[in-house]
Structure 1
Amino acid sequence: MPLATFLVDNRIDVSVENPARIHAFSQSELNRNKTDKGDAKMIARYCALHTPKLWFSAPLSERQLMALMRRLNHLEEMKRMESNRKMVADEIVHPSLTDSISALEKQIIEIKQKIKKHIDETPELKKNKQLLKSIPGIGEILSATLLAFIGDVSQFTSSKQIVAYAGLNPKLCESGVFKGRSRLSKVGCTELRKALYMPALTSITHNPIIKSQWERLVKRNKGGKVGVCAAMRKLLQLAYGVLKSCIPFDAKIALAKT
């Protein structure tokens, strides 16, 4: 959020709100017209009524890490798109696509090296990376993603809050006697959800806490997607725990609590 960061750096109070919340507030007022002047007044009324909390920018080291991680994600997405194009493209353009993929692979390697160097040269980030990597299933990329997109864990008062922040909390659908299926809310940080998926699959086999949870869910016929989503939540909760306590992961202690 470059604009918000610029304003805060210049000592201007800023609140950052979810656009969907502002839109819902506008609809609740039954506004028929949409103009810049009308929107400004509506946002002012929202702020006067709800008093949103002030937003503070993350330290420079965290903002730089976030920029590096987003660049890595963009490069990997571009590589995936070029690889897909190559699968269906005419052979005459294969050399061009191969060169493009090779160039992207080179940039991906360079960015990963920059990310590692940036974390290792920042004492706080390095300490937190070591805490995160003490958890089976969390490696270099996931630890960097968590550090970039979670930021200061003190902003979350519980593991439930951080789960909701990542959009991994269940969304219930009930009305009267009707009870629909619950599903992920997906209202949260997309980068965290994407980064947690593959490590969660690995953790089902290699992390004793998540393996135990998975086995309990399978016995209740709740494996598959439900089990994987539960593994993603648990992995994020374990990450929150070590960052909050500043104590490395200990499987024996964690198993004793389950």
Structure 2
Amino acid sequence: KTHEKQDELDQLVARRRQLIGLRTSEKNRQQQADSKAVAKSIARTLDHLRKDIRRIDEEIRKLVQSDDQWKGRAELLKTAPGIGEVTSTTLIAELPELGDLNRQQISALVGVAPFNCESGTIRGKQMIYGGRKSVRNTLYMATLTAMRFNPTIRAFSERLSSQGKPYKVVATACMRKLLVILNAMVKENKPWKNPETT
């Protein structure tokens, strides 16, 4: 039964991502549409996609609420500033290992662990690659919010920026820090607290 539920959740989260992708494509087309008829057609499609995304969101919410373990984990994750409904359900669906692995393993699994890159021109630079792209994309969006509203991530981000680190490096480091904190929260079953002040 649990396996069926996990499969259902995976499919719903994947479908939501597809619909968001379609909506982004249509919005891009809307900006380039000179024809009134085309603009109207795009507006109708966008309206339909918005409603469909809302329906899928509701199905995801109901499914998560129907499982005590998922429900508890979602509530726990959402105590962290920057983590909302979409991020928490994506992590539940696509990163079930959260809380079971150590910080290095979870970072490598998502693809935010730096690997030393020793190929020719970029010797000595650390690169990130591999990992679960869909989780990384969702985590990236959550990190952008956290860099503004999460006191720990914001302070970390400001510290790295003041050292002259490029924005992409700062954002990736913040993603990794946020993921490691979420991993620890699930592992210890403890809600968010601002570690910088404790």
Q: What do the CA deviations read for 1:85-107 (whole angstroms, capped 9, x no partner)? A: 22223413222222111111110
**Matching of residue 64 in structure 1 with residue 5 in structure 2:** no
Match of 1:151 in 2: 96
- State the 1:61 CA deviation: 2.2
Aligned positions, number: 195
Aligned to 2:151: 208
Q: 1:90, 1:225 → 2: CA distance?
A: 35
Residue 140 (structure 1) aligns with: 85
What is the Cα deviation at residue 256 of structure 1?
5.8
> Of the candidates 47, 58, 61, which is equivalent to residue 116 of structure 1?
61
| Aligned residues of 1:214 and 1:223 also touching (Cα < 8 A) | no
Give the whole-Å Cα distance in 1 for the aligned partners of 2:178 and 2:149. 12
Within the alignment, does 1:128 sit opposite 2:87 as a pair?
no
From the superposition, tell whether residues 115 and 221 of structure 1 become closer, same or farther in structure 2 (CA, over 3 Å): same
Deviates more, 1:210-219 or 1:236-245: 210-219
User: Counterpart of 2:105?
Assistant: 161
Higher RCO (C-alpha 8 Å, min separation 6):
2
Paired with 1:249 and 1:134, the residues of 2 have a C-alpha distance of 5
Which of 65, 87, 95 lines up with 2:31 in the alignment?
A: 87
**Uncovered stretches (5+) of structure 1, i.e. residues with no partner:** 1-57
- Note the 1:1-258 alignment, pairs <5 A: 59-91=3-35, 92-153=37-98, 155-156=100-101, 158-174=102-118, 179-185=123-129, 187-251=130-194, 254-255=195-196
The one-letter amino acid paired with 2:183 is Y
Q: Which secondary structure does the structure 2 equivalent of 1:172 belong to?
A: strand
| Offset at residue 207 of structure 1 (A) | 1.4
**Closer, same or farther: CA 90–215 of 1 in aligned 2, 3 Å:** closer
| Corresponding residue SS for 1:201 | helix
Instruction: Give the aligned residue type for 2:145.
Output: T
Gaps in structure 2 of 5+ consecutive residues: none
Distance in 2 of aligned mates of 1:215 and 1:94: 42
CA RMSD between the two structures: 2.0
Return closer, same or farther for 1:213/1:175 CA change in 2, 3 Å cut-off. Answer: same
Change (3 A) 1:63 1:203: same
Structure 1 residue 175, shift from structure 2 partner: 6.5
TM-score (norm. length: structure 1): 0.70
Cα distance in 1, alignment partners of residues 140 and 61 from structure 2: 21
Aligned to 1:12: none
| Aligned residue type for 1:225 | K
Q: Distance in 2 between matches of 1:106 and 1:63?
A: 23
CA distance in structure 2 between the partners assigned to 1:83 and 1:90 by the alignment: 14
Larger Rg: 1
For residue 62 of structure 1, report the CA deviation from its aligned partner: 2.2
Partner of 1:38: none
Moved more, 71-80 or 60-69: 60-69
CA distance, structure 2, for counterparts of residue 249 and residue 229 of structure 1: 21
Question: What is the rounded CA distance, in whole Å, between the counterparts of 1:132 and 1:90 in structure 2?
Answer: 44
> So what's the TM-score if we normalise by structure 2?
0.90
* Aligned partners of 1:62 and 1:151 also within 8 Å: no
Q: Distance in 2 between matches of 1:233 and 1:154?
A: 14
